[in-house]
Every structure is written in C-alpha cells, then in structure tokens.
Structure 1
Amino acid sequence: MGIPVTQWSISLLGEHVRSLKLQVSDSSVRRILNDAELQPHRQRMWMTSQDDEFRSKRDDVLRVYYDSPAHEHIICVDEKTGMQALERRYPDYPMQAGRPVRREFEYIRHGTVTLMGAYDVRRGKLFGFHAERHDSATFVDLLDWVDTCYPKERGHIIMDNLSAHTTEDVLEWFEAHPRWQRHFTPKHASWLNQIECAFSDLERQVLARGSFASKQDLQQKVHAYMG
C-alpha cells in the first residue's frame, strides 16, 4: 500500500481510508474488521524446520510418549541457559484493592546461571543441577545424574541436536549405558521436547517476577521450586 506502517490500528486504518476520499468512521472500520474476523494488529509466528528427517524423528519421539511400556523411564533433557539473577533496586509496592503490585524498573545484575535440566515425563517432575558451562562434558554429567536417579529398568532420553549432545563423549556414554536409548527431536521442533513446557513454567512462576540478591540466591530458589 506504500505506507510506512508495519502494525495497523483502527485509527490508522480509518485515517488511511479517509485519505482515499472514502467517508468511513473508525467505528465502521472496527465493525467491518470484526465482521470479517480480521485482526491486523496481531500476528502469529512459526518456524519452518529444514530437517530432512523431520517426520521420522517426530514419529519416533511420539512413539516414545505414547507407546513405551509403563515400566520404562521417559526423560527429557536440555539446558536452560542465561537465567539472569536480577535484583530489584527498590522493593515492590504491594497490591491494593483495584491496584496491582507496582515495581521499580531499575535492577542490579548479578550474572547468569545455567540449569542442566531433566524432566521425568511420567511423574511430571523437573530436576537437575546448575553449572557454569554447558558443554559436552557437562552434558555427560547430566546423563550420569539421570542414570544415578534411575538405577533400574530401561529408559528413553529425549534431546535436541545441540552440538554438545552429539559429541564422541556422548556417543560413548550411550554405548556404555545400553539400557538408555536416545531420541533426537527434529531441528527447530523444541515443542516436541516436554522439558520445554517445564522450563516455561519455571520461567513464568519463578524467574519472570523474581528478585535475586545473587546467583546463589537464584539457584536456591530454582532448587526450591523443583523440590
């Protein structure tokens, strides 16, 4: 349309239509959009996976979720990197009737923390440990952690294709622990890894509105949440 606007509002659309010599009010623009079920002020995003093995990997992961025998473990693993230990410079004002909590915008940075996470699909349980790095050696430590927590029965470990998950050390670990079978999600399909849902809950319930006096404080509160 030749207009330098990337997000339309009712008033902008009304102004543009009237510039075309059409006498239409903003309320009429709103009614027309509602009747046509059009929402120019909104957008939804998606990501196209370029993985040639998308369907086979997807189906493999779904079979684990739906068809694995009840006695087999299903563990999803991943790293939650860059968790910021932000401390609010001034305390919040508590909520009052008709008024939400008020928070000072300024904060103090105390660094970031990485959670090496695992999620037990059958129990709905998030667990793991914090680490300074999230390289292949640390990922092997996470696999050891899972193996220690589940010393009996066979199991499945679901992960993405991060380079730290596909090294020789990781391959050797699975060769040395044949009771665990690994399953890769397709590229750009993190929604198939259920730990992402657990990370989303952690972000919303602990991190998003938290105030942390140090990295240690953040770690303690994450561990308390995981129980």
Structure 2
Amino acid sequence: MTSSGLVISDEDRAALESWLRSSTVSAGLVERARIVLTVAGGAGTAVTARQVGVSRPTVIKWRDRFAARGLAGLADEPRSGRPKTIDDSAIIAATLDAPPEKLGVTHWSSRLLGRHLGIGDATVARAWRRYHVQPWRTETFKFSTDPELEAKVHDVVGLYLNPPENAVVLCVDEKSQIQALNRTAPMLPMRPGLPARATHDYKRNGTTTLFAALEVATGRVTDRCYDRHGKAEFLDFLKKVAKAYPRRELHVVLDNYHTHKHAEINNWLAKNPRVTLHFTPTSGSWLNLVEVFFGIITRQAIRRGSFDSVAQLIEKIRTFIDGWNDRCHPFTWTKTAEEILPHA
C-alpha cells in the first residue's frame, strides 16, 4: 500500500500518542508509533524514514503491519530458535547434587554439568549467574566447643558495648612468626591495568613476634616485638601495658593461649588487681578486636615489604604503629551477644 492510503482511527491515534509520552513503553514500540503517526500524517516513505531515523524498509514493514493488524501488528512476534529444553530450577538442583564418582571431581564446572544435562555450558553459566550459585568457591567455618561459650561472649561483648566507667578496655594478642622476607628482585610498580608485582622467590632472614594491645575506645596501640612468645614475654608485655596506663582500671580481652593462664601470670595479676583478664571462647578469636588491627598492619606494612633483617622488619612495624597512633580511630562493636550466639 502507499503511505497516503494509511488511515488510523481516533482510538488508535490516542493509543499511539500515549506510547510516545510513556516512560514505560519500550523504545521499539515508541519508534513504531512514531512511524505510523508520521505516515498517517501524509509523509511519504522516504520522508518518514528521514524524520524517524530509520531505513525505508523499516517504515514499509511497520506501515504494512499496522494496516493489516492494527495496534497488534506493532508488537514483537515470537522469536525463532530452539525453546529451552531444561529450566533453571533443574540446573540449580543438579548443581547441588554431587557429581558422579566416576568423574573424579569435587564439584561441577559449567562444561561438565552442561555435558551431563545435555545442554550448553553457557546455559548453565547463565543460570548460575542469575541465582548467584558459585560451585567453585568454598569458605571455612568453625564452631566453638567451649562449655562457657555463652558466658564469655556476654562478658566480652558487654565490655565493648558498655565498658566500665573510667576503665580502659584493651584487646591483646600476639602475632607470631612474622617473617623478614627479602625479595630476590625489586617490586615492579603498578601501571594502568596492572597491579604492583613481586617476585615469587625470596630469602628468609628470621622472624619476630609482635605483641599488641589495642585500646578499643581510641584505636591506639601499645606494642613490643620479641624473639619468642612464651609466658616470660607475655608477662613482660603485660607490665609494659600496665605502665602505659598508670593508676587506671584495665580490662584486657585475650584468647585462651596457655601462656595467658600460667601460674606466674596469675601471681602477677593477684598483685595488680586493677588489671582483669577476659578470655574469648575457644575458637573465638574473631571476638578480639586486635585481630582487626593485625589484618591492617599485615596488608599495609608487612605483606608487600622486603626486609634484609629482623631488625629492619621491627623498625618497619614500629614506624607503622607510630603513624597509626597519629591517625587512629575508635573500634566500634555493634552486635549484641544475643545476635551473635546463634551463629557462634
């Protein structure tokens, strides 16, 4: 038919014009409505194509389909291609089942599962992405078997959320066996699109143990490095911490390492009643906030360093902690014991 022969009813015109104003109608339908309205306004095929920004065959296609079927002719027709042979729920269900023993694998890959189900690996991958299923990933967990778990969680969390008035809450632990590693070649600096790179080869130059006491209210750290991490070193560090906070009531959170409960430690505590130890549950070191600080110093100062000697490593640790204490911030605990215990 010719463009001049296209006639549309008032009802269809109102519908097409509403499509142009709508923010929810697809861009394809808006374009088709503009074609039909332009043609019905008396424009020729070439003029319509130029005004709408499409080709002449596109104008002819939608003009003729509207003439033959009205508004319904502007809708998309069913797409060709093979329909799905398996739905996503079946793919996810198969993913959760262990692979057959004959495959000798611990988990499915998209290719193995696709072959097993008789579908393409891309179909499997799309289903995994849609439902956030990642068979190749694994994480670890550990439940505490401490018979005093509930009491210890309440004790430690209570210190974080409601510390005693005029008292200092400290989190203490040791980070042992920090290696003074010297890379066999200088690190390559990062470049656009490439991270900094270090050689896989290194030389071991000894180790040190970092004792640290984190003041929860300020984030300030008291530290000392030792060659060993036995009861003598722990007692010496406790004395250093007590000296750093003279005439203050100290509540110290720490783990159940045996040196923390030695008779010599208990004897010293009996003579220094202003210092009270609070033990985290067995396998509950995540309750100790100094572990967060150990993660920070590892990432920012130790892991990417290169050290010719233990003395150089210790100097780096001290420099970092001095800088940290200039910019430190409170460590804020937010979860209550009741929120934690179901997951502990």
Query: TM-score under structure 2 normalisation?
Result: 0.62
Map of 2:267 onto structure 1: 172
User: For 2:269, what is the secondary structure of its paired residue?
Assistant: helix
Unpaired stretches in structure 1, ≥5 consecutive residues: none
1:70 deviates by 4.6
Contact 2:155 2:278 in 1 (8 A): yes
1:85 and 2:180 are equivalent in the alignment: yes
DSSP-derived class of the 2:140 partner: coil
- 1:203 counterpart = 2:303: no
Cα contact 2:184–2:202 (8 A) shared by 1: yes
Which sits farther off after the overlay, 1-10 or 81-90? Answer: 1-10
Matched with 2:192 is 97
Q: CA deviation at 1:7?
A: 4.3
In structure 1, C-alpha distance between the alignment counterparts of 2:294 and 2:112, rounded to whole Å: 39
Runs of 4+ residues over 3 Å off in structure 1: none
Question: Equivalents in 2 of 1:104, 1:193: separation in Å?
Answer: 34
Aligned residue number for residue 56 of structure 2: none
Report the Cα distance in structure 2 between the residues aligned to 1:94 and 1:44, rounded to whole angstroms. Answer: 31
Contact 2:208 2:228 in 1 (8 A): no
How far apart, CA to CA, are the structure 1 residues paired with 2:183 and 2:165?
46
Greater length-normalized contact order (CA 8 Å, ≥ 6 residues apart)? 1
Which segment drifts farther, 83-92 or 121-130? 121-130
Matching residue of 1:121: 216
- Contact 2:253–2:280 (8 Å) recurs in 1: yes
Please report the RMSD computed on the Cα atoms of aligned residues, expressed in angstroms.
Answer: 1.4
Is the partner of 1:94 in helix, strand or coil?
A: coil
**Match of 1:4, as an amino acid?**
G
Q: Which stretch shifts more, 93-102 or 59-68?
A: 93-102
Larger Rg: 2
Moved more, 107-116 or 30-39: 30-39
Task: Provide the aligned length of Structure 1 versus Structure 2.
Answer: 222
The counterpart of 2:130, out of the listed 12, 35, 41, is: 35
How far did residue 10 of structure 1 move? 2.1
Q: Spell out, residue by residue over 1:77-134, the C-alpha distance to the aligned partner (whole angstroms, 9 max, x if none).
A: 1110010100011112222233322322211110111111111111112221111111
Residue 133 (1) aligns with residue 228 (2): yes
SS at match of 1:172: helix
TM-score by length of 1: 0.93
Greater mean deviation of Cα atoms: 4-13 or 162-171: 4-13
5 Å-filtered alignment, 1:1-227, equals 1-2=100-101, 3-15=103-115, 17=116, 22-227=117-322
Supply the distance in 2 between the matched residues of 1:52 and 1:42 (Cα, whole angstroms). 32
Quick check: 2:222–2:241 contact (8 Å CA) kept in 1?
Answer: no
**CA-CA distance at 1:31 after TM superposition:** 1.8
1:46 partner amino acid: F
Tell me the amino acid that sits aligned with residue 126 of structure 2.
R
